[in-house]
Structure 1
C-alpha cells in the first residue's frame, strides 16, 4: 500500500510513540477492506513492535458501524479515534498525528488549551460528544478539522471522533444530506461545514469562550500598530512592525486567510511548490518568532478615529485602541446573488472543486464563470463527474487560450456563453438544477444537474469600513497610494482588499511590508511609539 520512502518516513515518526497501540479493524472480503488491511499492515511494520492489529471479533469488541473502518486504541484508556475508509491523500498526515497523539506523544498545544479540551463534556458529566467528520482525500480544508477532533478525542475520553471518507461512503452521505466537505456532525446533528481549527471548535463548544475572549481583548493596552487580517499581507505587516520594536497586534478572523483555501502554489519565488495550508502554518510560525499579540477568531466590525489614534470594535463586542492601523482583511468568493443560492449552499452549491468535486462523481454539475479559475475548475471536474456545463456571462470565455483549448477537447463538457444564471433550483434538500437567461434572445433555459461550482471572482472584505472615513472604490476595494496609505491618515492597507491591480500572494506580502514601514513612518512623525513612551 505505502511505497518504500513513505514507510521509512512513517517508521521515523512512530519512534516517538510513548505507549503501545492496538488497531481494531472492522473488515470484510471486499477490495476496500483488503486495501485497508494492507495499509494497517504497513503501519504495524513501521511501528516496529509498538503497534499491533486485531480484527474487532478477535479483540472481543463491538465492530465498527462502517465497513471498512479501524479504531486506534491504547490499553490504559478508552480512546475514541476512528477512521472509516482510507485516510490517504491530504488525510495521511491526520492518520500519522492520530497515531502519535493516541500513543501519548504530546500535541503542540498550550497547557490552557489542553485543560479546556479535558474539561469539555456533553449534556452531563457522563455523556459523550460524538463527532463525525466527512472528508475527501483531495480536500485541503479537511485535515485541520480531522486533526483537531482526533487530538481532542485523544485527550478527552468523553470525546469520540469518526473521520469518514465521503467517497467511500457516498450512500451514507446522500442519506444524511451531506453534500460538502468537511462536514461535521455532533451526536448526529449538524455542527459545522468548512475549515475549522481547534480554537474554533472549542469556542463553539465552550459557550462562554467568546465573552471571555472579548473581555480579555478589551483590557489590552493600546497598540502602536494594529494589523487587521492574518493573511500574507497581514503576516508581513506584523513581522515588519515587530522588527521595529513597537507594540504590534494582529486581529484575524482566521490566521492564513484565503491562502488556507488555496491548493497548489507554484509561483511563490524561491519556493517551487507548496500548498496553502502549509504556507499558512509557516506564516503563523514566522509571526510567532516575534512579540506580536495575535488575536484569532475575531472579526472587525467598526473603525473610529479618536483623539489618540483609532478604536476598533469587533463582532464579539471587544474594543481595541491603536495609534495606527493596517487593514489587510483580504477577499472572499463572490456569490451569484440569485434565488436559491444561499438555501442550497453546501447542498449542491460549492466554491471548491478540489474539495467537493469527488462528492459528485458520475453526476452532472455546472461551473459558473469563464475566467482562468472557472475553466480550470471545469477541467478538473471533467475527470471526476459525469458532465460539466460551463456558463459564462460574457460572449466569450476569458481564460487563457491554452486552458480554453484543453477544455474544448474534453468530451463531457458543454460551454454556454452570453448566459446569466438567474436561479438555483432544488427539491428542498439538495440542488436539482439551475435557470439561465440567454442574453442575446432573452429566453430562459433550465439545466438539470446535481452540483454548481461558483467561480466568478472575489469580493473584498471591507463592508465594515463604509462609515470609517476610509475611501472605497466602486468595487468596494480600499483606495491606497504607492505607500499603502488610505484617505484616513494613520490607516494603511495592503493585499486583496485594496486597489492593488494584481491579487497575488507575493504582491500581498510586499504590500504588507510597505504598509508597515509607512505606518512606522507615520508614528515617528506624529507621536512617540507606545513602547518607547513607556520606557521613557
Structure 2
C-alpha cells in the first residue's frame, strides 16, 4: 500500500502559530483526533493539530466494511475522506511533528513542546496518539503486511472468506479472533508458543468449533510467500522445524499504547493505557484523551471517532467553565 498519498489541501492548511493561545490542541490525526477537531471547530473553538502519521493505523487497513454508511472502502480512502472534511474547516495541522512534552502551568494553561524547540499554548489538550500492534518480530512479518499479515480479525477477516488462516497468540484477543474468523474462513489454526492463557469459557467454545485446530508450544519464526503469504515456518518445543501452508496470518498478541507523553502526567492502567472517564477526561483537568491510547474497550474506527467527538465536547464544556 502506498502510504505517501496526497491528502489534497492539507499542505495548504494554515500554519500552527506559536503566538496564538488555542482553545484546544490535538495530538494525533487518526479517527479520534480528526473527529475531535471537527467537533471542536464546529463549537467555535480555535483548534490546532499535530501529526506524525495522517490517519493513524487506519491507512494500514486493507478494507473497511464496518463503518456505518460506507459499505466498503480501503483504509486509505476512508482517511482521505476524513482529512478532506477537516481540511474544509481550515484547521492548522503541523505535519511530521514529534511532540516531545506536554506541561500544564500554574495558570492552568498547557504548553506543548514540539521538535525544533517550538512551544505551542492552549487551554485544553486532547491526546489521540493511538496504539501500535505488538509484533511477532519475525522474518517476513513486515514484508507481507497487508498481503496476508494482518493485526485485526474484525477489520480484515472477510478478505479471507473460504481460505486457510493462522492466528498467532494464546490470549483472549487471539481466541476471540479465531472464533470470529472461523465464521468466514475455511480453516483456522491457532499457533502459540506456550499454553493458552485465555479465559476458560472461550477456550471451551473454541474447542467445540469444527474448523479450528490448536498447535501449542510452537513458535513462529518466519512468514513466507511470493506476492502474498503462502505459509509460515515454525519450531516446536523440541526445536524441530515445521512448515505450515496458509493464506493469512493474524497476529493477535496485543497492542502497545503510544503513551510516552502520558507517562508521569496522567493515570495509566496496568496495560499502560490512559485511564479516562465517560467524558473522556483524564486524571489531569483540561487534558482529555480518546481512541486506542485509552482504556476504552474495543479498538474500532467508529468507537475512536465517537470518543474523539466526546472529548471535543467535554473540552468545550471545560473551557466554558474556565474563569
TM-score bracket relative to the smaller structure: 0.7 to 0.9
Instruction: Determine if contact 2:127/2:290 at 8 Å carries over to the other structure.
Output: yes
Report the 3-state secondary structure (helix = DSSP H, G, I; strand = E; otherwise coil) of the residue aligned with 2:92: strand
Residues 1:491 and 2:304 are matched in the alignment: no
Map of 1:466 onto structure 2 = 263
SS in structure 2 at match of 1:495: coil
Matching of residues 7-406 of structure 1 within 5 Å: 142=1, 145=2, 195-198=3-6, 219=18, 221-308=20-107, 309-315=109-115, 317-336=117-136, 341=137, 345-347=141-143, 350=145, 353=148, 367-369=167-169, 370-373=174-177, 390-392=190-192, 393-394=195-196, 405=209
> What displacement does 1:477 show?
0.8
Q: CA deviation at 1:366?
A: 5.5
The change in CA–CA distance for 1:262 and 1:391 in structure 2 (over 3 A counts) is: same
2-structure distance, mates of 1:447, 1:220: 62
Q: Secondary structure at the residue paired with 2:104?
A: strand
Paired residues, what number? 289
Give, in whole Å, the separation in 1 of the partners of 2:268 and 2:165.
36
Indicate the SS of the match to 1:290: coil
- Secondary structure, aligned partner of 1:196: coil
| Counterpart for residue 253 of structure 2 | 456
Query: In terms of Rg, which structure is larger?
Result: 1
SS in 2 for 1:265: coil
How big is each residue's C-alpha offset from its partner over 1:239-273, in whole Å with a ceiling of 9 and x where there is no partner?
Answer: 11111222101212222212222233333333333
Distance 2:257 2:270 in 1: 11
Bigger helix fraction = 1
Give per-residue Cα distances to partners, 1:325-353, cap 9 Å, x unaligned: 001112211123xxxx26665356x4762
Contact 1:233 1:508 in 2 (8 A): yes
Kindly report which structure 2 residues correspond to 1:407-426, keeping only aligned pairs within 5 A, or say none: 407-408=211-212, 415-419=213-217, 421=219, 424=221
Question: Any unmatched runs of 5+ in structure 2?
Answer: 8-14, 151-155, 157-163, 224-230
Contact 1:298–1:316 at 8 Å: present in 2 too? Answer: no
Indicate the structure whose relative CO is greater, using CA pairs within 8 Å and at least 6 residues apart: 2
Pairwise CA distance, 1:371: 3.5
Provide the residue aligned with 1:48 in structure 2.
Answer: none
1:395 and 1:418 in contact (8 A); partners too: no
Q: 1:274/1:480 Cα in 2 relative to 1: closer, same or farther (>3 Å)?
A: same
- Contact 2:24 2:315 survives alignment (8 Å): yes
CA distance in 2, matches of 1:222, 1:484: 22
Give, in angstroms, the shift of residue 473 of structure 1. 0.8
Task: Report the Cα distance in structure 2 between the residues aligned to 1:220 and 1:381, rounded to whole angstroms.
Answer: 55
Evaluate the alpha carbon distance shift between residue 464 and residue 365 of structure 1 in structure 2; reply closer, same or farther with a 3 A threshold: same
Structure 1: gaps (5+ residues): 1-141, 146-194, 200-215, 358-363, 409-414, 438-442, 528-536
The alignment's TM-score, normalised by the length of structure 2, stands at 0.73
Contact 1:228 1:328 in 2 (8 A): yes
**Aligned equivalents of 1:403, 1:253: Cα separation in 2:** 43
SS of the residue corresponding to residue 314 of structure 2 reads: helix
CA gap of 1:313–1:417, structure 2 versus 1, over 3 A, is: farther
Rounded to whole Å, the distance in 2 between the matches of 1:404 and 1:352 is 30
Q: Is 2:284 aligned against 1:500?
A: no
State whether residues 435 and 446 of structure 1, in contact with CA within 8 Å, keep that contact through their aligned partners in structure 2.
yes
**Matches of 1:394 and 1:402, distance apart in 2:** 11
Q: Which residue of 2 aligns with 1:518?
A: 314
Question: In 2 relative to 1, CA 525–463 (structure 1 residues): closer, same or farther, beyond 3 Å?
Answer: same
